[in-house]
């Protein structure tokens, strides 16, 4: 394994793709992403080997994807004409999901990640109108033209940030929330929120490697999803990842035991937990 398998924040996208590849290869897969193995490549494999018990966390990653798929399809069924995937990484939903061919789908991520993805997917055909935008989303000025285009080109947009906000500062997430809320056509935002306890646990497991790559985990608000209220968003749906994984029958005995207790509500503390939240304006 290379001495620094995670070189930068974009390498975490390779890691996410490995989980989707492993799921795809299961006989009882909850979704199939035939491009994931190619996108993850050998580096993705090295990165996933960093964790002490490598398959222990699969259920959390896979359930997150299943919930994002489910909430996204609900938004499309209720008339979304644009999907904006911020920090799309190596996500291949436009290729693996059945979508209205006219749906406008925008993926944004850092320029080197977009270049890598464009190269690997050159010969693939998406199931909707897909475009990719290379941009540093933590830079307000750099993302402004993209947000202006979203306002101009959609009537009803939904934004996804899957695995992004945890890498941003509290202030940065607040500004992003403000800027998204200022887009008149932006109806819903699907986002994952982790508790302070889960962030701490993950930093113990892999914090050294993430910090060395300048990609520490930062955002885990005690207020949970109510954090977004000051920024123009209210939680229309909150789904605990643990409880959804129990329903999907993907938990080992100990976690099944934890899932017998009700999902935590804000303020979130030391208890490790995560939720997928649908925010509406
Ligand atoms: C854990 S990956 C998640 C990728 C994808 N959403 C998924 O679930 O597979 C985090 C992604 O955030 C992107 N990212 C982090 N900071 C970013 C920034 N400032 N601007 C754009 N993208 C960023 C990384 O390049 C990476 O693709």
Predicted confidence (pLDDT) per residue in 27-49, tens digit? 999 999 999 999 999 999 888 87
In three-state secondary structure terms, 10 is coil
pLDDT at 185: 98
pLDDT at 48: 82
Contact (CB, 8 A) for 180 and 279? no
Q: Which of 51, 60, 62, 89 to mutate to test the pocket of ligand 1 (most atoms within 8 A of CB)?
A: 89
- Burial of 37 per CB tally in 10 Å (0-12, 13-18, 19+): middle
Q: Quick check: bond before 113 cis, omega within 30? A: no
- CA 105, distance to chain mean position in Å, is 16
- Beta bridge partner(s), residue 193: 275
Tell me the two tokens of residue 102.
Answer: 């006219």
136 lines ligand 1 (CB under 6 A): yes
CA–CA distance, 164 with 64 (Å, rounded to integer): 13
**For residue 97, pLDDT beyond 60:** yes
pLDDT at 119: 98
Residues 199-217, buried b or exposed e (16+ Cβ, 10 A)?
bbebbebbeebbeebebeb
Confidence of residue 51 (pLDDT cuts 50, 70, 90): low
The H or E element that residue 105 is part of is strand 104-109
Share above pLDDT 90 across residues of the chain, in percent, rounded to a whole number: 91
Provide the Cα torsion 35, 38, 41, 42; round to 10°.
120
**For residue 54, pLDDT beyond 60:** no
pLDDT, tens only, 136-162:
999 999 999 999 999 999 999 999 999
- For 29-89, strand residue ranges (E) read 82-86
pLDDT at 45: 86
pLDDT at 57: 84
**For residue 123, pLDDT beyond 70:** yes
Share above pLDDT 70 across residues of the chain, in percent, rounded to a whole number: 97
CA–CA distance, 64 with 60 (Å, rounded to integer): 6
Strand-pair category, 186-194 with 234-240? unpaired
**For residue 52, pLDDT beyond 70:** no
pLDDT at 2: 54
CA–CA distance, 157 with 201 (Å, rounded to integer): 34
113 lines ligand 1 (CB under 6 A): yes
State in Å: Cα 9 to ligand 1 middle.
7
9 lines ligand 1 (CB under 6 A): yes
Mean pLDDT of 245-269: 96
91 lines ligand 1 (CB under 6 A): yes
Domain map of the chain by residue range? 58-280
pLDDT at 5: 76
Mean pLDDT of 165-176: 98
164 lines ligand 1 (CB under 6 A): yes
Higher-confidence position of 42 and 279:
279
Higher-confidence position of 60 and 53:
60
pLDDT at 108: 98
Confidence of residue 4 (pLDDT cuts 50, 70, 90): confident
58-280: CATH number: 3.40.50.150
pLDDT at 47: 84
**For residue 210, pLDDT beyond 60:** yes
pLDDT at 55: 62
Mean pLDDT of 80-105: 98
State in Å: Cα 79 to ligand 1 middle.
26
């Amino acid at each position: 394994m290379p001495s620094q398998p995670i070189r930068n924040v974009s390498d975490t996208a390779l890691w996410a793709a490995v989980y989707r590849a492993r799921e795809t290869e299961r006989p009882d897969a909850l979704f199939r992403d035939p491009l994931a193995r190619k996108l993850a490549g050998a580096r993705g494999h090295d990165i996933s080997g960093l964790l002490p018990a490598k398959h222990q966390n699969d259920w959390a990653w896979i359930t997150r994807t299943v919930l994002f798929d489910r909430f996204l399809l609900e938004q499309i069924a209720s008339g979304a004409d644009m999907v904006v995937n911020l920090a799309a990484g190596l996500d291949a939903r436009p290729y693996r999901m059945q979508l209205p061919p006219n749906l406008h789908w925008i993926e944004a991520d850092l320029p080197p990640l977009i270049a890598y993805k464009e190269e690997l997917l050159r010969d693939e055909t998406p199931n909707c109108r897909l475009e990719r935008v290379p941009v540093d989303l933590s830079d307000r000025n750099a993302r402004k033209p993209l947000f202006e285009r979203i306002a101009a080109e959609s009537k009803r947009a939904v934004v996804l940030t899957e695995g992004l906000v945890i890498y941003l500062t509290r202030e940065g997430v607040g500004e992003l929330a403000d800027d998204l809320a200022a887009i008149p056509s932006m109806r819903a935002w699907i986002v994952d929120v982790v508790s302070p306890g889960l962030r701490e646990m993950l930093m113990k497991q892999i914090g050294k490697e993430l910090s060395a790559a300048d990609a520490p985990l930062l955002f885990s608000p005690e207020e949970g999803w109510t954090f977004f209220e000051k920024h123009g968003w209210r939680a229309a749906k909150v789904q605990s990842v643990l409880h959804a994984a129990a329903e999907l029958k993907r938990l080992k005995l100990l976690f099944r035991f934890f899932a017998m207790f009700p999902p935590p509500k804000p303020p979130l503390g030391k208890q490790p937990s995560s939720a997928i939240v649908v925010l509406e304006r």
